[in-house]
Chain A
Amino acid sequence: MIPELGQFALVLALILALAQGVLPIVGAWRGNAALIATARPTAAGQAVFVFAAMAILIYAFLSYDFSVAYVADNSNLALPWYYRVTAVWGAHEGSMLLWVFILNVWSLALAAFSRHLPDAFVARVLGVLGLIGVGFLAFILFTSNPFLRELPMPADGGDLNPVLQDPGMTFHPPVLYMGYVGFSVAFAFSIAALLGGGMEQAWVRWARPWTNVAWAFLTLGIVAGSWWAYAELGWGGWWFWDPVENASFMPWLVGVALIHAQAVTEKRGSLPAWTVLLSLFAFSLSLLGTFLVRSGVLTSVHAFASDPRRGLYILGFLVIVIGGSLLLYAIRAPKVATGKPFAPLSRETGIMIANLLFTTAAAMVLLGTLFPLIGDALNLGRVSVGPPYFGFLFVLLMAPAVLLLPFGPYLRWGHAEGRQLTAMALRAGVAAVVCAIAAAFFAQGHLRAIAGVAGAVWVGAGTLAYVVKRWREMPRGRRFPAEMGGMLIAHAGVAIFLIGVMLSESLSVERDVRLAPGEVASVGGYDFRFDGVEETEGPNWRADEGIVTILRNGDTVGTMHPQKRTYSRGQVQTESAIDAGLFRDIYVALGEPMDANDAAGAWAVRLYHKPFVRWIWLGGLFMMAGGFLAACERRFRAKKIAAEAAATQPASPALKTGESPA
């Protein structure tokens, strides 16, 4: 009975989403205040029923309701309760419900924190979000219903994919979706602006904090996913250019471009059409990612169930949403676009160049991801491109962005002067060269490591020099507004990330060794003593657990316990043991026993020493923190009057807090 209520809740949510998608937009178009006023209540109503459906699905998992096919497929009696909760989004149907759930979280937040915006504008924004909700709710109800019954009811269920049984998994998909779906808000703002035409020039300022928060969540989600792949998949890598990873990376790249373009449009009134287009792209790529993952058009290690009906549905939805919005853009953009000109040497130009680099990188990733499909279409056979393609082109495109980055804060809006730039370039350049020479002594001959240090110091020193300059020249309290602080922290994150990537990629040591109990292998200055294997058990698995003692110069550093787990359904999963440190990770994965009948004998063991690998995720966390901090900017929370004043005068307060003509 209860699962039927869940289904019923979804139907009601769909009807309310339809109301939310149609009535307020019509109201804003006809100037009908009563219809405009339906925006918030219908959004709240849709959210109530979607939340109810979500709660019911979670309840079905917690109460072992195996009569629900989705529950029976993805959980069993032995699965601990926390993995039964995360199993909700462990497969296709539930993760679509999670998508809609998070869409409603964003809609509710928008309904609550938009009191200072004009009612007609909010009505349009919520209306667009309602229409997106319609698309996804109908998709769930017609092709991917998580509440379908399976009769007769099985006595026990299947199992959650063991790869997903990890603490990282509890939190990776929801956070990633917060980012993905969050771009729907920027998208809705753009569509609302296009629909509304001229009057809503100030929409960019209202959209900025939402975009920043969505981007920060997406950053966190990608970092979590990368960390999870590193810790859980046992491959020791942190990024694989897998289609599913690419699906989250493309919106991220466009998101980087978007948050910078929004700053230009908000403060200077330049590039408004480009900003609109980018926000359409960011959300379109989020949808496209969903399509690629869910339609089975591309196969990947993430291997979700595929169904041509679902693929066709999503494709139709894409055509309506993306095609429709691009058409609207083509028709209405000239009305919104009254870009202000700027000098060739200015912050606008710098951001424009970086924007082109990032969007090109996103296009490059898209092309690489679709390559197998293009190969089929042109009858070249199913070819795919891998890390060599992505790695090479991505570095090629990002190198100029890294070179440009420290100049950013020094470039003045409108028209910049060369003198300050050369002074900065001289200082950061000298620092980079000195550090690179120092690094050359440590990283004998590893060019990539040396280049990484040089790039990181270039970015880091340039950013730090700007912090010092602000500190000296500005009075207390006005030195670092949230927006600028966020920018500086995120840029520092780039430097940290560069160190992590370049050093861990070039200096890591990996060895596959055969170790009998008592034997010792050395990797990266550490000695690994293999102390044998014990049997151990978890709630739904049993495992061989290796005991490896780490020694350095004869002193014990720690003991590690890599496992080889066998789950109740027979799937085997490697649980690598990781000894994490700020400057290096030690990573031990257990292979197979050399003689199967003798688990007490020698084993194949994989040992890694990865210097600075943690800086990759640390850099990502800095970027995320920057995104969140920038969203806290006081200027974004201006009251209604200020917003309306700004509507007539889009570029006015830029001089107050943004850049200082020192």
Chain B
Amino acid sequence: MSRLLPLFAFLLLVGLFGFGIWWNTQHDQHEIVSPLIDKPAPAFSLPVLGEPARMVDKASLLGKPYFLNVFASWCIECVHEHPMLMTDVKQLGLPIVGFNYKDDPQAARAWLAEHGNPFDVIVADRDGRTGIDFGVYAAPETFLIDGRGVIRYKRIGPITPEVLDKEIRPALAALAKETP
């Protein structure tokens, strides 16, 4: 009997792995739930891209919900995501704050000149320190932050039409219900 124990232990493992595969088919790889969801966004104060003297901080953005989109000129996926920001996301009517992550300001501006600028304001996180506070994992990432400065939703990876319809619009609808 005891000789069967390793087999039983292994079958338990197999069950776990089978579950893991099933779980992955049900969930998007990008959906690593951020511990920051429903928590206040970290306080930050960052210079505006191209205007190092002008600072934007969390307090100055309070009062109205906004998107915070993490992008960089070195980020390949950002190029794929960009048209979505330029059209569909823009049309949602919320301000979009660009979060230029670990990027060269000149490269960032050249990149925006080439692909278009959907952002209402762009802050530059040169050394990525604020990115760490936000738990930035990779670019692109998009946060939805409500008027009280609480992170309501986070997307790791590019925004696709599907993500927009299945995740972002419902999140916005939930937000609209709370604050009539």
Contacts and interface: CB of A to CB of B under 8 A. Distances in A.
Interface string B79-93: 000000000000000
B74 A572 contact: yes
A195 to B, nearest CB: 16
Given A315-B18, A382-B32, A297 B24 contact: yes
B74 A334 contact: no
A299 interface: yes
Interface stretch (B6-14, B60-68, B162-170): B6-14
A592 B127 contact: yes
Interface in A282-341: 284, 288, 291, 295-299, 306, 308, 311-312, 315, 318-319, 322-323, 326-327, 329-330, 333-334
B10 A306 contact: no
A569 B33 CA distance: 30
Contacts of A319: 14
Given A295-B21, A315-B14, A377-B19, A323 B33 contact: no
B126 A311 contact: no
B20 A327 contact: no
Nearest to A297: B20
Interface residues of B, number: 31
A373 B20 CA distance: 6
B36 to A, nearest CB: 14
Interface stretch (B98-106, B112-120, B144-152, B171-179): B98-106
A333 B3 contact: yes
Given A330-B3, A373-B19, A322 B24 contact: no
Contact of B104 (A298, A311, A334, A596): A596
Interface of A: 273, 277, 280-281, 284, 288, 291, 295-299, 306, 308, 311-312, 315, 318-319, 322-323, 326-327, 329-330, 333-334, 370, 373-374, 376-377, 381-382, 566, 569-572, 591-592, 595-597, 604
B3 A334 contact: yes
B105 A597 contact: yes
Contacts of B14: 315, 318-319, 323
Contacts of A373: 16-17, 19-20, 23
A570 B6 contact: no
B126 A330 contact: no
Contacts of B32: 299, 382
Contacts of A273: 3
B17 A291 contact: yes
Contact of A308 (B19, B25, B102, B106): B25
Interface in B1-60: 3-4, 6-7, 10-11, 13-14, 16-21, 23-25, 29, 32-33, 52
Contacts of A597: 105-106
Given A382-B32, A604-B127, 14 more contacts: A281-B6, A296-B29, A299-B32, A311-B20, A315-B18, A315-B21, A318-B14, A322-B10, A329-B6, A373-B16, A373-B23, A376-B19, A377-B23, A570-B73
Contacts of A295: 17, 20-21
B7 A330 contact: yes
21 contacts: A281-B6, A291-B17, A295-B17, A295-B20, A296-B24, A297-B17, A299-B29, A315-B14, A318-B14, A318-B17, A323-B11, A326-B10, A373-B16, A373-B19, A377-B16, A382-B32, A566-B74, A569-B76, A591-B127, A596-B104, A597-B105
A296 B7 CA distance: 24
Given A308-B21, A572-B74, A277 B6 contact: yes
Contacts of B3: 273, 329-330, 333-334
A330 B3 CA distance: 5
Residue with the highest number of chain A CB atoms closer than 10 Å, among B3, B14, B75: B3
Contacts of A591: 127
Contact of A315 (B17, B102, B105): B17
A382 B156 CA distance: 15
Tell me what chain A mostly uses at the interface: helix, strand, loop, or mixed: helix
A376 B20 contact: yes
Contact of B21 (A281, A297, A381, A571): A297
Give the 6 A-B CB pairs with smallest separation, nearest first.
Answer: A297-B20, A326-B7, A330-B3, A311-B21, A596-B105, A330-B4
Interface string B104-133: 111000000000000000000011000000
B12 to A, nearest CB: 11
A596 B126 CA distance: 8
Contacts of B76: 569-570
A273 B3 CA distance: 9
B50 to A, nearest CB: 10
A43 to B, nearest CB: 28
Contacts of B16: 370, 373-374, 377
A315 B104 CA distance: 45
Interface of B: 3-4, 6-7, 10-11, 13-14, 16-21, 23-25, 29, 32-33, 52, 73-76, 102, 104-106, 126-127
Nearest to A376: B23
Nearest to B1: A330
A284 B9 CA distance: 13
Contacts of B13: 288, 370
Nearest to B11: A323
B73 to A, nearest CB: 8
A291 B33 CA distance: 24
A275 to B, nearest CB: 14
B30 to A, nearest CB: 10
Nearest to A291: B17
Contacts of B10: 284, 322-323, 326
Contacts of B7: 323, 326-327, 329-330
Nearest to A311: B21
Given A318-B14, A382-B33, A597-B105, A326 B6 contact: yes
A566 B107 CA distance: 12
A572 B87 CA distance: 29
A373 B3 CA distance: 27
Nearest to A572: B74
A277 B9 CA distance: 13
B115 to A, nearest CB: 13
A643 B71 CA distance: 67
Contact of A306 (B17, B29, B106): B29
Nearest to A308: B25
A312 B24 CA distance: 11
Nearest to B31: A382
Nearest to B14: A319
A374 B13 CA distance: 10
B127 A311 contact: no
A297 B13 CA distance: 13
A569 B17 CA distance: 36
Contact of A311 (B24, B29, B106): B24
B82 to A, nearest CB: 14
A234 B76 CA distance: 22
Contacts of A334: 3
Residue with the highest number of chain A CB atoms closer than 10 Å, among B17, B32, B75, B106: B17
Nearest to A363: B9
A592 B21 contact: no
A130 B77 CA distance: 43
Nearest to A332: B3
A246 to B, nearest CB: 15
A596 B106 contact: yes
Contacts of A318: 14, 17
Contacts of B20: 295, 297-298, 311, 373, 376-377
B102 A592 contact: yes
Contacts of B74: 566, 570-572
